[in-house]
């Protein structure tokens, strides 16, 4: 925005995967600031997915290949359900849960979504969709009715253009122009000039730009008072985790570091998590309470999702801030594990022996004792009561009041604010300002407290800057994202792989979880 050498921004979004609307808004804010500086933004693509179009809509010109199309389908969630598959494999699934809406375990015990889950999910999906429509319509020359064509109208319009999806998009003002790559290239040559070879326009990719224009070296002024930011992103698991993930012990250590730093006067805990291990969540919450006891106010700043265990750790903060479309709540707990005695028997494999106590024979190769099952269910119910009490104490409510809005139900932040689960709506910067105000700071620095880099990561950062480290080590799903839009089979494989991959995060020492699995669809 402030670099006079840059006059035009070209948005090529073909490799951009899906993302929650909160994260998309952070990008569009920067695009809008670029435009407000008198600079031009052109979006181009062969095809626009829903997330890609949200970004593209903020450009001065939205261009698309003549053979392309715009795919805006709304929000939906269709998890895979494994009940029959598990029965055919003769796997015994043991489920322990509390809460009418705790749908995290439904894929293992049902072949379809329960009515209660459909009711709850419809509410927040509709709220997200309404926000998407409002934001896009505000940036384009049409109103929200453009999104609400029924199939008969859509069919008639497609027939009028002989099935040409590109022409349909142009007629409906989804795009401003239909241009090939060569035409876009020529347009940009006319705008910014040609490079030395004359074959293309003068340009610098954003990765090259970030590596050349390094941000100022972060200087930790030992004199200035600080607002510390600790990021908790991902599934909450027990123990230590690497930088960028949530381990109960490792995240608690970051909060402890802030507490022991005399120059840190307030903390913003930035949460982007659908929960996970209840035990790990409590380890983190205890450190939030310790910060408050030390006289350091804590603001919980919710990103896309802060539900179940994510809400557990947020509840202890002095104030809870969220974006309007943040997914939160899901106050409920469950326990789950599988035993394979029948599967093994089909293969002629059995487990037998002796033990000094009934507990010693506990194994996935043996049936679960009925009394042990009762004990686990009681533990889950006790955990739910604890969850209610934790929230009730923090939010100045009674456990009975919390129970009415809990039951594992997911809420969007605007609703959560009305229910008393969220204090204020705003982004991360708003939360930082609020933390400084609570600490009565007039002049302060913002310090991000994070785990130390490995020697390899540190070397890359020293040479290329932070962006290069993230690029080098990030798991790139862009190729899969493109395939998923083109092949339903690949999409199904990816979904199945993701569901199975979730199982690795179940490492709570007591097997009790506060996790919102439906939240995964909108992150």
In a domain, residue 155? The reply is yes
In a domain, residue 321? The reply is yes
Confidence of residue 486 (pLDDT cuts 50, 70, 90): very low
Q: Is the pLDDT of residue 76 over 50?
A: yes
Report the 10 Å Cβ neighbour count for 518.
24
What total number of domains does the chain contain? 2
Q: Is the pLDDT of residue 12 over 70?
A: yes
Q: Tell me: do 194 and 292 sit in the same domain.
A: no
Q: Tell me: do 364 and 296 sit in the same domain.
A: yes
Q: Tell me: do 416 and 337 sit in the same domain.
A: yes
In a domain, residue 194? The reply is yes
pLDDT at res. 345: 95
Confidence of residue 470 (pLDDT cuts 50, 70, 90): very low
In a domain, residue 375? The reply is yes
pLDDT at res. 479: 36
CATH of the domain at 46: 3.90.226.10
Q: State the Cα–Cα distance between residues 381 and 188, nearest whole angstrom.
A: 63
Greater model confidence, 311 or 117: 311
Q: What is the DSSP letter of 201?
A: B
pLDDT at res. 4: 87
pLDDT at res. 400: 96
Can you tell me the mean pLDDT for 517-522? 57
List the domain range (segments joined by +) for residue 369. 226-443+501-522
Confidence of residue 266 (pLDDT cuts 50, 70, 90): very high
Q: Tell me: do 273 and 324 sit in the same domain.
A: yes
pLDDT at res. 471: 43
Greater model confidence, 480 or 324: 324
In a domain, residue 216? The reply is no
Alpha-carbon distance values, 303 to 264, 326, 430 (Å):
22, 6, 12
Mean pLDDT of the chain: 86
pLDDT at res. 449: 94
Catalytic option among 165, 281, 304, 308? 308
Q: Is residue 102 annotated as a catalytic residue, yes or no?
A: yes
Q: Tell me: do 193 and 240 sit in the same domain.
A: no
pLDDT at res. 498: 55
Q: State the Cα–Cα distance between residues 138 and 307, nearest whole angstrom.
A: 30
In a domain, residue 463? The reply is no
Q: Tell me: do 336 and 253 sit in the same domain.
A: yes
Q: Tell me: do 314 and 368 sit in the same domain.
A: yes
Confidence of residue 485 (pLDDT cuts 50, 70, 90): very low
Can you tell me the mean pLDDT for 360-378? 88
pLDDT at res. 467: 45
Q: Tell me: do 234 and 145 sit in the same domain.
A: no
In a domain, residue 27? The reply is yes
Confidence of residue 500 (pLDDT cuts 50, 70, 90): low
Catalytic option among 25, 102, 296, 428? 102
In a domain, residue 406? The reply is yes
Q: Tell me: do 151 and 276 sit in the same domain.
A: no
Q: Is residue 308 annotated as a catalytic residue, yes or no?
A: yes
Q: Tell me: do 399 and 345 sit in the same domain.
A: yes
Q: Tell me: do 166 and 198 sit in the same domain.
A: yes
Q: Tell me: do 517 and 436 sit in the same domain.
A: yes
Confidence of residue 382 (pLDDT cuts 50, 70, 90): very high
Alpha-carbon distance values, 228 to 195, 232, 284, 454 (Å):
44, 13, 16, 22
pTM for this entry: 0.81
Report the 10 Å Cβ neighbour count for 150.
7
């Amino acid at each position: 925005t402030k670099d006079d050498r840059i006059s035009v921004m070209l948005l090529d979004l073909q490799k951009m995967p899906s993302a929650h609307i909160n994260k998309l808004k952070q990008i569009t804010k920067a695009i809008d600031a670029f435009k407000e500086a008198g600079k031009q933004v052109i979006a181009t693509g062969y095809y626009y997915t829903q997330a890609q179009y949200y970004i593209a809509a903020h450009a001065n010109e939205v261009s698309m290949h003549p053979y392309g199309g715009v795919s805006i389908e709304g929000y939906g969630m269709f998890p895979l359900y494994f009940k029959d598959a598990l029965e055919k494999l003769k796997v015994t699934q043991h489920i322990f849960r509390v809460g009418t809406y705790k749908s995290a375990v439904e894929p293992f015990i049902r072949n379809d979504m329960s009515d209660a889950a459909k009711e709850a999910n419809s509410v927040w999906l509709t709220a997200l969709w309404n926000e998407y429509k409002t934001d896009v319509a505000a940036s384009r020359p049409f109103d929200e009715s453009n999104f609400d064509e029924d199939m008969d109208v859509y069919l008639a319009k497609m027939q009028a253009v002989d099935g040409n999806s590109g022409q349909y998009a142009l007629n409906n003002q989804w795009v401003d122009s239909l241009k090939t790559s060569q035409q876009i290239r020529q347009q940009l040559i006319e705008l910014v000039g040609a490079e030395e070879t004359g074959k293309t326009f003068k340009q610098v990719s954003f990765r090259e730009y970030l590596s050349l224009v390094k941000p100022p070296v972060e200087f930790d002024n030992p004199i200035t008072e600080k607002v510390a930011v600790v990021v908790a992103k991902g599934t909450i698991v027990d123990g230590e985790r690497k930088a960028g993930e949530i381990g109960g012990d490792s995240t608690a250590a970051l909060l402890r570091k802030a507490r022991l730093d005399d120059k840190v006067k307030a903390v913003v805990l930035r949460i982007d998590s659908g929960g996970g291990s209840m035990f790990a969540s409590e380890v983190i919450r205890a450190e939030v309470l310790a910060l408050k006891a030390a006289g350091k106010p804590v603001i919980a700043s919710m990103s896309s999702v802060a539900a179940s265990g994510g809400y557990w750790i947020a509840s202890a903060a002095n104030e809870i801030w969220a974006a309007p479309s943040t997914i939160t709540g899901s106050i409920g707990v469950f326990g789950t594990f599988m035993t394979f005695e029948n599967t093994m028997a089909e293969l002629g494999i059995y487990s037998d022996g002796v033990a000094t106590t009934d507990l010693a024979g506990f194994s996935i190769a043996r049936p679960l004792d009925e009394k042990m099952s009762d004990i686990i269910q009681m533990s889950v119910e006790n955990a739910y009561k604890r969850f209610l009490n934790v929230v009730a104490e923090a939010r100045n409510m009674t456990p009975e009041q919390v129970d009415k809005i809990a039951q594992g139900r997911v809420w969007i932040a605007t609703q959560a604010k009305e229910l008393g689960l969220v204090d204020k709506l705003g982004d991360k910067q708003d939360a930082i300002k609020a933390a400084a105000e609570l600490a009565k700071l007039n002049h302060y620095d913002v310090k991000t407290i994070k785990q130390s880099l490995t020697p390899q990561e540190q070397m890359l950062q020293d040479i290329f800057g932070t962006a290069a480290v993230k690029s080098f080590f990030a798991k790139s799903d862009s190729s899969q994202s493109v395939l998923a839009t083109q092949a339903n089979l690949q999409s199904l494989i990816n979904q199945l792989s993701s569901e199975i991959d979730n199982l690795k995060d179940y490492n709570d020492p007591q097997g009790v979880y506060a996790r919102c699995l439906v939240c995964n669809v909108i992150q």
